[in-house]
Amino acid sequence: MRGKTLKVAVAATAIALFATACSSDGEDTTENNNSGGTLRIYASEPAFLLPSAGDDEPSILVIRQLYRGLVKYNAETGEPENDLAESIESEDNKTWTVTLKDGYTFDNGEPVNADAFIRAWNYTAYGPNAQNNAYFMKRIAGIDEVSGEEPAAEELSGLQQVDDLTFTVELKEPFAGFPAIVGYSGFFPMAEACLADTDACNETPIGNGPYKIDGSWEHDQRIQLARSETWAGEEKGAADVLDYKIYADVDAGYAAFQSGELDVMYTIPPARYQEAKQQYGDRMYEAPGDSFTYVGFPTYDERFADKRVRQAFSLALDRQGIIDAVFDGRFTPAEGVVAPTFDGYRPGVCEYCTQDVERAKELLEDAGGWDGEPLVLWANAGAGHEQWLQAVGDQLKAALGIDYELKVNLQFPEYLATADEKEFTGPFRLGWGPDYPVVETYLYPLYGSGSDSNSSGYNNPDFDALIAQGDAAADLEAAIPFYNQAEDIIVEDMPVIPMWFSKIAALYGENVDEFHWNKISDAEYGKITLKNS
Amino acid sequence: MGRYVIRRLLQFIPTVLGTMFLLHYVTSLGIQFSGNPVRAIFGDRKPTEEQLAAMTEKLGFGDPCLEQPGNPCFGLFVDRLQDIFLRFDFGINLQKEPVTELVSRALPHTLKLVLIAIVFEAVIGIFAGVLAGLRNGSFWDYLVKISTVFVISVPIFVLGVVVRQYVGVEFGNVLRGQDWIPEVISRGVFGAGFIADYPTASLVIPGMVLGAVSLATTARLTRTSIMENVRADYVRTAKAKGLANRRVIGVHTLRNSLIPVITYLGVDIGSLMGGAVVTERIFNVRGIGSLVAQAATSGEASVAIGVVTMLVMVFLLVNLLVDLLYAVLDPRIRYE
């Protein structure tokens, strides 16, 4: 079975009447297996519609309908399946040969060939272009020569065209997960005409997916996509039109949903969650999510250098209690550092992640106790983290008798700079979202020695070696045991206190017939079907 | 008259420059103390030094004085003034869109919203004020007094959210269930916020919410002013001449009573554009107010400075117009 399907109960006549009354485009639905019509989607303003630049959720949710890449993710299992690629093969996990399917074109008629991928990835990686997704090209050989303000080369040496539909990718280090990461929207192809004028292409994208833009991006108002006639793939878009309506404020979006202006809404304002669940319970899709919240330890501070102190802190916390009290139960307590939706997740791997006050006291005692100075807990200002961090402090105080104070006055830019410069003076809150559906994304970027996002300053050669072994394994299946061992090291050493993973809650309206959600790439707007009136 | 206008226009220059400098200083301090806003674009993923430097330079946050807390950054200010007045370049936002484009996109919404608010508060406010002022101590007087106190004491964000929920969603949903009500009413006017399909109709209720607080003040001002003027000598004279009551009230009393009200309405245009920050967010109107709010949260100094500078100009011009209107209302006022 492909796609998660939720059948909606048959609506009462009165409600059907209401539905027709508020859908202005209801009349142009076609009889085509429940497809057709206009799907009205809640959206916030995307940052960019260029695949090389858009790395935020609102951008990606539009880009994924306009463009398609080498692979797509199975909605159920999250595994990569070939989309535009005929095959992605390698013998050593270092040099990959990609063969493309024939017959795909961009909206302007240009063929989607090997060059379309090579030019897109080169453009993304080239330093002076300052594209947000340059980060994702870092595994490709030659990246060091093209990045920076005045790079030595203009093109990645690791990308070579073989023939029109074949190209090779040489990586810096072997990585078994390569076929999985190229499904990320930053790896999508770009047309020549698009790169000739990227500003224009950002406003009026030239895509290669099942939908194409209708008109152009109406900033802060809406983005309309229409089904593309040139799409050669199997899965055609279900709805005729995808109408992304842009809201500045999620509460305003929720009010619009309530008044029948929207068919799908992928997020619910936290304060309205309970009410929404009561009112739209049968039309609310809930699933575990993958964004990770943690409290990191500055392991460069000698007070946190002993792992028993870190373990004791983690043992002192009742995660479910905080989630229930502060967030209406809307998160999943972390039982490790890998999200439950990932292949390679194991429940209950973290033995220090359930509250055990006695053991926490013992461990802290063994480590020499706390020096009596108040503990400083860090969070960035203005994003609502104070409340739960205070609950963390209260629990630490109750369990271990450590006084604490909150340091929550830094704005996000400065807070991140403090993290980069390793100047935290106490535990700090941070989050992490996966970059690609390989468990490695939860491990190396956060805990690898010298990794960019390793804010705790954790450094362990054994861990690095296991990750390298996993990366070099024959395939993802064989890599997972190594990654699992690496995770075991982390939950024992505790450079961070794993707190919780997000939960997805999406709403869909009476007009929606089948709702689809992909556990990796989130909302699958192209597959959602509408009822025929 | 002409000399008066020119003098007023010349006075704009120091005011605008002063405001711009204050804004420039405040935003520079903000960056000096809260860090390079470009860093936040990357979030949990740390960019490379070069990447950060390239983006910072591109967005105009590269000046070294932005790293010295307290430095007023005069050099940057002069550059900015030259960009704005010589090249009409207001800078770009974090998505690299020019500020002038952002403003030209947002302005029509806010102008419509403010126009609706002003018309609403002027018509209803003056009407209620006259009613209450002429019948001092009557039922109508108490009704106006009590309702205005009520409106003034409710913060606009509460009023907005309540109206959105109960008028836009709940009452609107009842209307939307009826086939005989045209969509422009059921979806447009009584929608839960701005809808692109009905760009004007869907601004009526947000405009009324925006105008509500000022409406109360307008009504109060008119009431007091009328009560004062009905006892004035010239009104008594007019009555003694045997003029019809409608003419006495409509022309003689009202015209004079409106001077403070017009002053207030003029000043209010400026504050309505500022007050739109809250209303626009609640009703999803993508106007100047939400532009400023967004710029403030993401630390986009060029957007904040550009937009507020334009707002100051509007404010000054409207006040000049109001001053000129005095002569129309009261022939005794002359400009030299």
pLDDT of residue B262: 86
**Contact check, Cβ <8 Å, B284/A253:** yes
Which residues, listed in sequence order, are joined to residue A501 by a DSSP beta bridge? A292, A332
> Which residues does B86 contact at the CB level (< 8 Å), separation at least 6?
none
Which residues, listed in sequence order, are joined to residue A98 by a DSSP beta bridge? A88, A167
Q: How many CB atoms lie within 10 A of CB B136?
A: 12
pLDDT, one tens digit per residue, over B108-123 is 999 999 999 999 999 9
Structure tokens at B130: 């006259």
Identity of the residue in B34, B37, B54 whose CB atom sits nearest the CB atom of A130: B54
- Could you tell me the CA-to-CA distances from A354 to A312, A411, B66 in Å, in that order? 11, 32, 46
- Alpha carbons within 13 A on the beta-carbon side of A161: 13
Round to whole Å and give the CA distance between A199 and A211. 20
Round to whole Å and give the CA distance between B237 and A169. 96
Round to whole Å and give the CA distance between B104 and B127. 35
pLDDT of residue A35: 66
pLDDT band at B276 (very low <50, low <70, confident <90, very high): confident
Q: Strands across the sheet with A6-7, in order?
A: A6-7, A512-515, A529-530
pLDDT of residue A27: 38
Choose among B153, B91, B173: nearest CA to A261: B173
- Could you tell me the CA-to-CA distances from A135 to A198, A199, A272, B125, B230 in Å, in that order? 19, 21, 36, 58, 75
Helices (H), chain B: 2-34, 37-42, 49-58, 74-87, 99-134, 139-153, 156-163, 172-176, 183, 204-229, 233-240, 245-247, 254-282, 288-298, 301-329
Round to whole Å and give the CA distance between B79 and B75. 6
Average pLDDT over residues A237-262: 93
Q: How many CB atoms lie within 10 A of CB B274?
A: 14
Identity of the residue in A128, A253, A453 whose CB atom sits nearest the CB atom of B54: A128
Beta pairing, strands A496-508 & A284-296: antiparallel
Choose from A149, A279, A416 for mutation: most chain B CBs within 10 A: A416
Q: How far apart are the first and last CA of chain A?
A: 27
pLDDT of residue B336: 63
Which residues, listed in sequence order, are joined to residue A105 by a DSSP beta bridge? A111
* Structural contact between residues A156 and A122, judged by C-beta atoms closer than 8 angstroms: yes
Which residues, listed in sequence order, are joined to residue A87 by a DSSP beta bridge? A99
What's chain A's average pLDDT?
89
Contacts of A296 in chain B (CB under 8 A): none
Average pLDDT over residues A289-308: 93
Identity of the residue in A219, A253, A255 whose CB atom sits nearest the CB atom of B169: A255
pLDDT, one tens digit per residue, over B216-257 is 999 999 999 999 888 888 888 888 988 888 888 888 888 888
**Contact check, Cβ <8 Å, B176/A18:** yes
Round to whole Å and give the CA distance between A484 and A372. 37
Q: How many CB atoms lie within 10 A of CB B74?
A: 12
ipTM score here?
0.86
pLDDT of residue A38: 94
Identity of the residue in B55, B179, B191 whose CB atom sits nearest the CB atom of A130: B55
pLDDT, one tens digit per residue, over A308-351 is 999 999 999 999 999 999 988 889 999 999 999 998 999 999 99
Helices (H), A27-113: 57-66
pLDDT band at A66 (very low <50, low <70, confident <90, very high): very high
pLDDT band at A533 (very low <50, low <70, confident <90, very high): low
Contacts of B179 in chain A (CB under 8 A): 17, 21
**pLDDT over threshold 70, residue A16:** no
Round to whole Å and give the CA distance between B261 and A68. 61
| Nearest residue on chain B to A420, alpha-carbon basis | B46
Round to whole Å and give the CA distance between A205 and A213. 7
Q: pTM (2 decimals)?
A: 0.86
Task: Tell me which of A159-168, B195-204, B284-293, B315-324 is least confident.
Answer: B315-324
pLDDT of residue A446: 94
Quickly count helices (H) and strands (E) in chain A: 17, 22
Identify which has the larger pLDDT, B67 or A449. A449
**pLDDT over threshold 50, residue A10:** no
| CB burial of residue A33 (10 Å; 0-12, 13-18, 19+) | exposed
* Structural contact between residues A326 and A365, judged by C-beta atoms closer than 8 angstroms: no
**pLDDT over threshold 70, residue B38:** yes
pLDDT of residue B95: 80
Identify which has the larger pLDDT, A367 or A25. A367
Q: Where are the beta strands (DSSP E) in A215-306?
A: 222-227, 241-246, 264-265, 284-296
**pLDDT over threshold 50, residue A30:** no
What's chain B's average pLDDT?
87
Contacts of B168 in chain A (CB under 8 A): 255, 259
Residue type for position A474 = A
Round to whole Å and give the CA distance between B122 and B129. 10
**pLDDT over threshold 60, residue A161:** yes
pLDDT, one tens digit per residue, over A376-428 is 999 998 788 999 999 999 999 999 999 999 999 888 888 998 998 899 999 99
pLDDT, one tens digit per residue, over A171-181 is 999 999 999 99
**Contact check, Cβ <8 Å, A411/B35:** yes
**pLDDT over threshold 60, residue A245:** yes
**Contact check, Cβ <8 Å, A128/B192:** no
- Could you tell me the CA-to-CA distances from A438 to A338, A443, B12 in Å, in that order? 10, 10, 61
Choose from B27, B29, B31, B44 for mutation: most chain A CBs within 10 A: B44
**pLDDT over threshold 90, residue A42:** yes
Q: Residues A472, A473, A474, A479: is their CA dihedral positive or negative?
A: negative
**pLDDT over threshold 50, residue A265:** yes
CA-based R_g, chain A, Å: 24
Average pLDDT over residues B37-52: 78
**Rounded to 5°, angle at Cα A155 from A150 and A160:** 165
**Contact check, Cβ <8 Å, B54/A149:** yes
**pLDDT over threshold 70, residue A21:** no
Q: At what angle do helices B156-163 and B254-282 cross, to 10 degrees?
A: 70
pLDDT band at B316 (very low <50, low <70, confident <90, very high): confident
pLDDT, one tens digit per residue, over A199-223 is 999 999 999 999 999 999 999 899 9
Which residues, listed in sequence order, are joined to residue A39 by a DSSP beta bridge? A242
pLDDT of residue A13: 34
DSSP state of A182: T
Q: Residues B206, B210, B213, B214: is their CA dihedral positive or negative?
A: negative
**pLDDT over threshold 50, residue A140:** yes
